[in-house]
Structure 1
Amino acid sequence: MRKLIVTEFITLDGVVEDPSWTFSEVPFEEAAYDIKGREQEEASALLLGRVSHDEFAPVWPSMEEFEAYNAMPKYVVSSTLQGSDWTNTHVLRSLDDVAALKARTDEGEGPIYVHGSATLSQGLLAAGLVDRLHLLVFPLVLGAGKRLFADSGETVKLELVEHAAYANGVTLQVLDVVR
Structure 2
Amino acid sequence: MGQLVVSENVTLDGVIQDPTGEGGTGRGSWFTGISDEDRAAWAKVECEEALGADALLMGRRTHEYFLNRGWATRTGEWADRLRSLPKYVVSSSAVDGGGWGETTVLTGDVPAEVAKLKERVPGEIVVYGSGRLVHALVEHDLVDELRLMTYPFVAGAGGRLFPGTGEVKPLRLTGSRIVGDGLALLVYRPVLERATKGE
TM-score (norm 1): 0.90
Residue of structure 2 in register with 1:131 after alignment: 144
How far off is 1:153 after superposition? Answer: 4.1
How far off is 1:24 after superposition? Answer: 2.3
1:51 partnered with 2:61: yes
Residue of structure 1 in register with 2:196 after alignment: none
Q: Which amino acid aligns with 2:157?
A: A
How far off is 1:54 after superposition? Answer: 1.0
Selected match of 1:158 from 146, 167, 171: 171
Partner Cα distance (2:172, 2:183) in 1 = 19
Contact 2:139–2:166 (8 Å) recurs in 1: no
Partner Cα distance (2:57, 2:15) in 1 = 20
Q: Which has the larger radius of gyration?
A: 2
Residue of structure 2 in register with 1:69 after alignment: 82
Gap runs ≥5 in structure 1 = none
TM-score (norm 2): 0.82
Contact 1:9–1:22 (8 Å) recurs in 2: no
Residue of structure 2 in register with 1:60 after alignment: 71
Q: Which amino acid aligns with 1:91?
A: V
How far off is 1:166 after superposition? Answer: 4.2
Note the alpha carbon deviations across 1:4-62, whole angstroms, 9 max, x for none.
Answer: 00000000110011221354222232334432122111100000101101111242111
| Cα-Cα RMSD | 1.7
Residue of structure 2 in register with 1:121 after alignment: 134
Partner Cα distance (1:70, 1:32) in 2 = 19
Q: Which amino acid aligns with 2:33?
A: E
Gap runs ≥5 in structure 2 = 21-28, 193-199
| Same amino acid, percent of matched pairs | 38
Q: Which amino acid aligns with 1:139?
A: P
SS at structure 2 position matched to 1:60: coil
Q: Which amino acid aligns with 1:156?
A: K
Note the alpha carbon deviations across 1:139-165, whole angstroms, 9 max, x for none.
Answer: 111111111112224211111111112
SS at structure 2 position matched to 1:76: strand
How far off is 1:83 after superposition? Answer: 4.6
Residue of structure 1 in register with 2:115 after alignment: 99
Do the aligned partners of residues 152 and 166 (structure 1) sit closer, same or farther apart at CA in structure 2, a change above 3 Å counting? Answer: same
Do the aligned partners of residues 36 and 125 (structure 1) sit closer, same or farther apart at CA in structure 2, a change above 3 Å counting? Answer: same
SS at structure 1 position matched to 2:160: coil
How far off is 1:167 after superposition? Answer: 5.4
The count of aligned residue pairs is 176
Do the aligned partners of residues 159 and 31 (structure 1) sit closer, same or farther apart at CA in structure 2, a change above 3 Å counting? Answer: same
Partner Cα distance (1:100, 1:37) in 2 = 27
Residue of structure 2 in register with 1:41 after alignment: 51
